[in-house]
Chains A and B, each alone.
Chain A
């Protein structure tokens, strides 16, 4: 089943094959959920948004241009669903931590330190502008090219590069004390 391309599965799904669409869900659910989490913060909201995104994609699969890549098309729909969810429920912004937060949180145990680092990363991510959150998650975590991200976000490629740059700078500055602890 791993040999079946996205385009083939999408074509079958467009003819009403919900099993084929299920394979696409299986393939892209982790990325869709991560992107929704990066945008919304709340895991439950993110999963609701990702599900809504997949449902919207299922309803629109007949209009999908099979000559184009499936992944950016799907991610654009998931992103829109996440934005809608955020508007409906109110985006939960995380309060910025005090500068000595790292000192209070970091422990001697490296694993505990990594867990704190992951938590802190999500907190800082939530303070970034939405587009920067999407750009850095899709570029550094999901491995999208700048051009693909530009297509998903509907902005010029240069804007994506700038967003990635600023998001990285903010994350690096905030996470530096945590990184010292887990090195």
Chain B
């Protein structure tokens, strides 16, 4: 072993270290790490999708709720319209349907007096 040149690698000690620490099953180890990397990539993609999933679901639920509400409102106004049409057809005075105030008491009284 080199003693006088400590600034240079000691070839004998280095070779012994390499032999002593040399791992076997290189291909198996590389395969194992590559599989772990692929699994990690797939996991990351799923976690990204998962982070998108929650706000996506909230947004979709909101849109569905708004759509349902709008549909219900439209349906309600359509039903009101058809009820008004039916009442007119039955001969109810238009003034009642118009929602305007009825004849005043004075008007009614003068009509009765004229009738006598």
- Which residues of A pack against B, CB within 8 Å? 16, 18, 21-22, 25-26, 29-30, 33-34, 37-38, 43, 46-47, 50-51, 54-55, 58-59, 114, 117-119, 121-122, 125, 136-137, 139-141, 143, 161, 164-165, 168, 171-172, 175, 179
Contact = CB atoms under 8 A, between A and B. Distances in A.
Interface in B34-74: 34, 36-38, 40-41
Interface string B1-36: 101001101100110111111110010011011101
A46 B9 CA distance: 24
Contact of B18 (A43, A55, A141, A171): A141
Contact of A51 (B1, B22, B36): B36
Contacts of A30: 22-23, 26
A118 B15 CA distance: 10
Contacts, number: 100
B94 to A, nearest CB: 74
Q: Is the interface of A mostly helix, strand, loop or mixed?
A: helix
Contact of A25 (B1, B17, B22, B30): B30
Given A34-B21, A121-B17, A54 B33 contact: yes
Given A29-B30, A54-B33, A139-B9, A47 B23 contact: yes
23 contacts: A18-B37, A26-B30, A29-B33, A30-B23, A33-B21, A33-B23, A34-B18, A34-B22, A38-B21, A50-B33, A54-B37, A58-B41, A114-B19, A118-B16, A118-B19, A125-B17, A125-B20, A136-B13, A137-B21, A140-B14, A141-B17, A168-B6, A168-B10
Contacts of A164: 6
B23 A37 contact: yes
A118 B33 contact: no
B9 A122 contact: no
Given A38-B21, A51-B36, A140 B41 contact: no
Contact of B26 (A29, A125, A171): A29
B22 to A, nearest CB: 7
Contacts of B10: 140, 168
Contacts of B40: 55, 58-59
Given A122-B20, A141-B18, A18 B41 contact: yes
B1 A122 contact: no
A99 B114 CA distance: 142
Contacts of A47: 23, 29
Contacts of B29: 29, 33, 47, 50-51
Contacts of A117: 16, 20
A121 B16 contact: yes
Contacts of A51: 29, 32-33, 36
